Chains A and B, each alone.
Chain A
Amino acid sequence: MTQMDVTNTTETPTALGRPIRRKEDARLLHGQTNWTDNIQLPGTLHMAILRSPMAHARITKLDVSGALKMPNVVAAYGAAELGDLNGSVPCVWPVTDDIVMPGFPALAIDKVRHVGDCVAVVLATDAVHAADALEAIEVDYEPLPAVVNMESAIADGSTIVHDDKGTNTCYVYNLGGGYDEVAAKADVIVKRRFINQRLIPAFMEPRAVVAAPMGMSDEITIWTSTQIPHILRVLLALVTGIPENNLRVVAPDVGGGFGGKLQCYREEILVTQLARKLGRPVKWTETRSEDMVATHHGRDQIQDIEIAATSDGKMLGLKVTLLANMGAYLQIITPGVPLLGMFMYPAIYKMDAYDFKCTGVFTNTTPTDAYRGAGRPEATYAIERIVDELAAELGMEPMELRKKNWITHEEFPFTTVAGLTYDTGNYEAATARAMELFDYDGLRAEQAQRRASGDPVQLGIGISTFTEMCGLAPSRTLGALKYVAGGWEHCTVRLLPTGKVEVVTGTSPHGQGHETAWSQIASSVLGVPVEDIEVIHSDTGRSPYGMDTYGSRSLAVGGQAIKKAADRLVEKAKVIAAHQLECSPEDIEFVEGVFRVKGDPEKVQPLAAVAFEAFTGHNLPPGVEPTLSAEATVDPEDFSYPHGTHLAAMEVDTETGKVTLRKYVCVDDVGVQVNPMIVEGQVHGGLAQGIAQAMFEGASYDEDGNLQTASFADYLLPSAMDLPSFITDTTCTPSTTHPLGTKGVGEAGAIASTPAIINGVVDALRPLGVTDINMPAAPMTVWRAIQAAKAGGAA
Chain B
Amino acid sequence: MIPVAFDYVRPSTVDEAVAALVAGGEDAKVMVGGQSLMPVLRLRLGAPSLIVDCSRIDEMIGIREEGDSIVIGAGTTHHAVMNNDLVKRYVTLLAQATATVADPQIRHRGTMGGSLAHADPAGDLPAVAAALDATFTIAGPGGRRTVAASDFFVDYFTTAVGDDEVLASVSFPKREGWGSHYEKFNRTAQAWAIVGVAAAVRMEGGRIAEARIGLTNVGTTPIRARSVEAALVGAADAAAIAAASESAADGTAPTTDIHADAEYRSHLTRVLTKRAVQKAAGM
Contact = CB atoms under 8 A, between A and B. Distances in A.
A716 B187 CA distance: 8
Given A656-B185, A656-B268, A780 B259 contact: yes
Interface in A459-506: none
B2 A709 contact: no
A74 to B, nearest CB: 18
A716 B188 contact: yes
B271 to A, nearest CB: 5
B264 interface: yes
A470 B139 CA distance: 65
Contacts of A287: 1-2
Contacts of B4: 132
B103 interface: yes
A717 B188 contact: yes
B267 A783 contact: yes
Interface in A144-169: none
B264 A783 contact: yes
Interface in A284-322: 287, 289
Given A128-B5, A716-B188, A718-B188, A656 B258 contact: no
A719 interface: yes
A700 B187 contact: no
Chain B interface residue bracket vs A: 20 to 34
Interface residues of A, number: 27
Contacts of A127: 2
Nearest to A287: B1
Interface stretch (B73-81, B189-197, B213-221): B189-197
A722 B187 CA distance: 9
Nearest to B1: A287
Contacts of A709: 258
Nearest to A289: B1
B239 interface: no
B38 interface: no
Contacts of A713: 191-192
Nearest to A696: B188
A714 B188 CA distance: 10
B260 A719 contact: no
B264 A714 contact: no
Contacts of B272: 656
A131 interface: yes
Interface string B36-55: 00000001000000000000
Nearest to A127: B2
A778 B259 contact: yes
Contacts of A718: 188
Contacts of B261: 780
Contacts of B271: 655-656
A131 B189 contact: no
B258 A700 contact: yes
Interface string A116-136: 000000000001100110000
A783 B195 CA distance: 15
A719 B267 CA distance: 27
Nearest to B272: A656
A585 interface: no
Contacts of B192: 713
Nearest to B192: A713
A132 B185 CA distance: 39
Nearest to A710: B43
A709 B4 CA distance: 24
B242 to A, nearest CB: 11
Nearest to B267: A783
Given A289-B1, A780-B261, A719 B185 contact: no
A714 B1 CA distance: 18
A719 B190 contact: yes
Interface string A651-668: 000011010000000000
Contact of A708 (B2, B258, B260): B258
Nearest to B265: A780
A778 B187 CA distance: 7
Contact of B103 (A708, A711, A719, A780): A719
Contacts of B264: 780, 783-784
Interface string A755-780: 00000000000000000000000111
B185 A658 contact: yes
A289 B189 contact: no
Given A127-B2, A131-B2, A656-B268, A719 B189 contact: yes
Given A127-B2, A656-B268, 16 more contacts: A128-B5, A287-B2, A289-B1, A656-B185, A700-B258, A711-B43, A714-B258, A719-B103, A719-B190, A721-B188, A721-B190, A722-B189, A779-B187, A780-B261, A783-B264, A783-B267
8 contacts: A128-B2, A289-B43, A655-B271, A656-B185, A713-B192, A716-B188, A717-B188, A783-B264
Interface of B: 1-2, 4-5, 43, 103, 185, 187-192, 194, 258-261, 264, 267-268, 271-272
